[in-house]
Structure 1
Amino acid sequence: MSPGAGRAVLLERPGSHRLVTAEPAPPGPGEVLVRVAAAGVCGSDRELYEGNRAPDYVRYPVVPGHEWSGTVEAVGEGVDPALTGRACVAEGFRNCRSCDRCRAGETSLCSGGYDETGFTRPGGFATTLTVPARLLHLLRPGTDLRAAALLEPAAVVAAAALTAAARPAERIAVVGAGTLGLLAVQLLAAGSPAELLVVDPRADRAGQGVEFGGTGARTPGQLGPLAGRYDLVVETAGAAGSAAGAVALARRGGRVVLTGLPAPGATGLDPTELAMRQITVHTVFGAPSAAWAHAVRCFEAGLLDPAPLITHELPLEGYADAVKLVGGGDPGVGKVLLRP
């Protein structure tokens, strides 16, 4: 291994990976080379490993890792040299910037085709990675880069919050108390809701939502009296019945934002119920640039603090163990990081 060489997890195909030597290539025009500080492992990384991700949203072999933070190590032609040494995160979607959706600011809906770091491009389970400089979001000196690795899921939550347009004194429920759910609780709590309920079948995880700013916690079996109560319901669980359960919690004329991605066979929504109760349903997949910027602002203002979610930190050699931890059902497992 040469002095400048690094390492990367290469997922050659579902269930088959190896740790490889990765020689950092000089960044090309408009690109930056980033040294990774920490990278989060999430449910979609487990799907990637198990081969359950839709074929249009993955390209094997791939270096996984779409949640990461790091420091700019080198810049390519046309990039401001002052970026070198700056702490950063970066958007995952490689949007084209020229289609109608990109020009409207909806960069996560780019019609140029799906292309994302960690799924179709090399990701953050590596010593270094190269990304377009235009996708960077810079962080203040001294930023906790462990916590900043969670800014990708925070951006998804920010996209949901911006879409929902929550107003002060509204009654809000968050369905799911995983990483997305607890970050959503933090962000929504900053908007002064009258009520902020956290719902999860794991009573201890629902209770953790109260520590993150919720006003109450329930399991799904305790929701009967609360049906039709909430102005806004943000669903983050991605469980088979969680979308339908979220709609049941919404009041007539209420709003529901779905961010979870359930497996095939999930309970469908009843269009008659939606129409008769005049429920507005929004969906979120990924995050546009505006949501990333909002998440970073909230993080640096102290309104989002992902650090308490982190329970495990492993080296790159622990990739397979990290995947087993995520979604394994152990209530003691929160956010798992790889530390290259």
Structure 2
Amino acid sequence: MSGGPARSRAITVDRPGGHRLTDGPVPQPGPGEVRVRVAAAGICMSDREVYDGHRDPRYVRYPVVPGHEWSGVVEAVGAGVNPALTGRGTVAEGFRSCGSCERCRSGETSLCTAGYDETGFTRPGAFADHVVVPARLLHPLADDADLRAAALLEPAAVVAAAVRAGTPEPGERIAVVGAGTLGLLAVQLLAAVSPGELTVIDPRDERAGQALVFGASEALSPEEAAKVRGRYDLVVETAGAATTAADACLLTRRGGRVVLTGMFAPGATGIDPVHLSLSQLTVRSVFGASSASWSYAVRAFTAGLLDPAALITHEFPLERFADAVALVGGGGPGTGKVLMRP
């Protein structure tokens, strides 16, 4: 087992609205685990929910070190782990799936029945100098991988889950609702399957313009999109706004497919069951990503089909966590992905 610095810092959220920068011993990996030196960690709305106290209590355990979108370099390995991993750039799945329940054995690791357990929510995450994770969850990267960009592979894996669920085919008409981080990553992955049309729907001109750069053929405002209802073979919803689940179903042709990836708040507009049944829609939802979806995202990243670095607009050291988290969900149109850089 390799050595390391004597101390390790971490952002600890003791309770909603309260955090501190802690400084303690470097964590040591146990059997089957690795310690990773964090290179970069992204902040998303789920982290903001943890900080504000708005996350469902079933999906967070205070005190917690947040940070579930991250990349880094394996610094030390525990007993039973291949020492050749030391020095490798890597990302890792967040869900601590058990690997033995019926769902895990079927490959649906994001549906593990052993109970919810996720790095950054119930286990210490990567808003820290180091993070310790099971080695079986690692997805090692190419030697020349951009670790700054790789911090976005967790949301890319969620998008990969949505794309896999939507089964896009070449030549289809596809729409993406929302041009945030998930939406822009979805555009990149969907562009790779050569759709006949790839439309992005977002009220923000700047984000819509970026989607065109990433391969979208058209960008519409929600008002413009309301005029083309029933057009698309596949609609991937990424916004999680009050009406976007219902809107996605209305945009889809009869017999088409809808995949919901946004995180909706209570009170969101429901999907009309009459429209759903008469239109014979297939509706899927995505929460997190399976191991297969992680592999899909990492392969796409390695092949150059994903350019996550272009989504990064702000970077902060751990000492400025309060400034960083304030930007997420409250920033202007120029705020994209916000990174912590320990």
TM-score for the superposition, normalised by structure 1? 0.99
Q: What residue in structure 2 maps to residue 124 of structure 1?
A: 126
Q: What residue in structure 1 maps to residue 288 of structure 2?
A: 286
**% same residue:** 69
Q: What residue in structure 1 maps to residue 271 of structure 2?
A: 269
Per the TM alignment, residue 3 of structure 1 is displaced from its structure 2 partner at its CA by 4.8
Letter in 2 for 1:255: R
Q: What residue in structure 2 maps to residue 14 of structure 1?
A: 16
Per the TM alignment, residue 207 of structure 1 is displaced from its structure 2 partner at its CA by 2.0
Q: What residue in structure 2 maps to residue 230 of structure 1?
A: 232
Write out per-residue CA displacement over residues 71-121 of structure 1, whole angstroms, 9 at most, x where no aligned residue. 000000000000000000000000011111000000000000000000000
Secondary structure in structure 2 of the residue aligned to 1:223: helix
Q: Does 1:319 align with 2:325?
A: no
Q: Which runs of 5+ in 2 are unaligned?
A: none
Q: What residue in structure 2 maps to residue 174 of structure 1?
A: 176
Partner of residue 90 from structure 2, selected from 61, 65, 88? 88
Q: What residue in structure 1 maps to residue 256 of structure 2?
A: 254
Per the TM alignment, residue 23 of structure 1 is displaced from its structure 2 partner at its CA by 1.4
Q: What residue in structure 1 maps to residue 337 of structure 2?
A: 335
Letter in 2 for 1:260: G
Q: What residue in structure 1 maps to residue 151 of structure 2?
A: 149
Per the TM alignment, residue 224 of structure 1 is displaced from its structure 2 partner at its CA by 2.7
Letter in 2 for 1:22: G
Per the TM alignment, residue 144 of structure 1 is displaced from its structure 2 partner at its CA by 0.5
Partner of residue 46 from structure 1, selected from 30, 45, 48? 48
Letter in 1 for 2:312: I
Q: What residue in structure 2 maps to residue 245 of structure 1?
A: 247
Per the TM alignment, residue 26 of structure 1 is displaced from its structure 2 partner at its CA by 2.0
Q: What residue in structure 2 maps to residue 115 of structure 1?
A: 117
Q: Which runs of 5+ in 1 are unaligned?
A: none
2 CA distance for matches of 1:211 and 1:326? 23
2 CA distance for matches of 1:114 and 1:258? 20
Aligned pairs for 1:303-318 within 5 A: 303-318=305-320
**Bigger shift: residues 180-189 or 221-230:** 221-230
Per the TM alignment, residue 329 of structure 1 is displaced from its structure 2 partner at its CA by 4.0
Aligned pairs for 1:22-61 within 5 A: 22-61=24-63
Partner of residue 209 from structure 2, selected from 203, 207, 210? 207
Task: Report the number of matched residues.
Answer: 339
Write out per-residue CA displacement over residues 33-61 of structure 1, whole angstroms, 9 at most, x where no aligned residue. 00000000001110010000000000000
Per the TM alignment, residue 309 of structure 1 is displaced from its structure 2 partner at its CA by 0.2
Could you tell me whether the CA contact under 8 Å between 2:258 and 2:283 is conserved in 1?
yes
Secondary structure in structure 2 of the residue aligned to 1:198: strand
Secondary structure in structure 1 of the residue aligned to 2:95: coil
Could you tell me whether the CA contact under 8 Å between 2:5 and 2:26 is conserved in 1?
no
**Bigger shift: residues 236-245 or 321-330:** 321-330
